[in-house]
């Protein structure tokens, strides 16, 4: 990686697929016949909170039994050793990057370990099932929701992400379909800024033509090969 100093890495569900966590849009990616677009919205939560809370309780329980894979570990090694700026912007709500040892991680779609109180706006570690309507540890209201970003909501820390893209020499997208904005637009912004772009994905993503280089195959093979 000659002449590269600052790197932004975007990860999606594909990076955790080989840890046994289902992706959103692959075959069988439906949950009880619901598309993610029908469950991961504030409207769905208003209409049928039990359904949405069950979805997140189940996901959180499943994630806790999974382990980081070779792709997470390779990115953690890169994070530990890379002397320049590096930011892993993940769309994933799992904590597998952190459990592999990565430090410079930004969760733009939130984190499954946190609950957000819609009454007092405080985030807290989420213990037990949200379906049981636990009280917020800060204000006592039973108004907790998963601290994740649903369709129509603003992803987190966008200014930091755009700032990192402006300073980057290389943008790498790993295991994401390119179906969901604003993350799907990062490659275009990178190109406009003259940043080098690389896609590592099982197959061509929706944005594959925007990348200067695309390598296709499983993340557990492609990511260690790229890092090491």
Which residues fall in the annotated binding site for substrate? Answer: 56, 59
Measured from the CB atom, the residue of 164 and 219 that comes closer to ligand BJW is: 219
126/129 Cα distance (integer angstroms): 8
Q: Please say whether the beta carbons of 79 and 103 come within 8 A.
A: yes
**Closest to 133 measured CA to CA, from 125, 143, 123, 124:** 143
The footprint of ligand BJW on this chain (CB under 6 A) covers a number of residues equal to 38
**Closer residue to ligand BJW, CB minimum distance, 2 or 33:** 33
Select from 179, 189, 191, 208 the one that contacts ligand BJW (CB under 6 A).
Answer: 179
- Given a contact cutoff of 8 angstroms between Cβ atoms, the answer to whether 96 and 64 are in contact is no
CA–CA–CA angle 122, 126, 132 (5° rounding): 105
DSSP state of 183: G
216 catalytic residue (yes or no): no
Residues between 120 and 159 that touch ligand BJW (CB under 6 A): 148-155, 158
Taking a C-beta distance cutoff of 8 angstroms, is the pair 211, 173 a contact?
yes
**Interaction residues for ligand BJW, span 59-88 (CB under 6 A):** none
Q: How many helices (H) and strands (E) does the chain have?
A: 9, 9
Q: Which of these ranges, 80-88, 130-138, 163-171, 177-185, lies near ligand BJW under the rule CB under 6 A? A: 177-185
Q: Is 18 in the site for ligand BJW (CB under 6 A)?
A: yes
The residues annotated as belonging to the active site are 109
- Catalog residues that contact ligand BJW under the rule CB under 6 A: 12-14, 17-18, 23-26, 29, 36-37, 40, 91, 93, 109, 148-155, 158, 175-177, 179-182, 201-203, 205, 218-219
């Amino acid at each position: 990686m000659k002449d590269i100093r600052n790197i932004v890495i975007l990860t999606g569900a594909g990076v955790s697929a080989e840890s046994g966590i289902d992706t959103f849009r692959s075959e069988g990616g439906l949950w009880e016949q619901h598309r993610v677009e029908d469950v991961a919205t504030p409207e769905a939560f208003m209409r049928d909170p039990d359904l949405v809370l069950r979805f997140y309780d189940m996901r959180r329980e499943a994630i806790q039994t999974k382990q980081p894979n070779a792709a997470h570990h390779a990115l953690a090694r890169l994070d530990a050793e890379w002397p320049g700026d590096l930011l892993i912007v993940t769309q994933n709500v799992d904590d597998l990057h952190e459990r592999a040892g990565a430090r410079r991680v930004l969760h733009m779609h939130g984190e499954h370990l946190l609950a957000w109180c819609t009454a007092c706006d405080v985030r807290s570690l989420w213990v037990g099932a949200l379906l049981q309507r636990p009280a917020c540890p800060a204000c006592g209201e039973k108004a907790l929701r998963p601290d994740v970003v649903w369709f129509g909501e603003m992803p987190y820390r966008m200014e930091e992400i755009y700032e990192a893209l402006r300073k980057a020499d290389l943008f790498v997208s790993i295991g994401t379909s390119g179906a969901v904005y604003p993350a799907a637009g990062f490659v275009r912004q990178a190109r406009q800024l003259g940043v080098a772009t690389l896609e590592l994905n099982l197959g061509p993503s929706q944005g594959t033509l925007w990348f200067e280089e695309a390598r296709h195959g499983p993340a557990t093979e492609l990511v260690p090969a790229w890092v090491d």
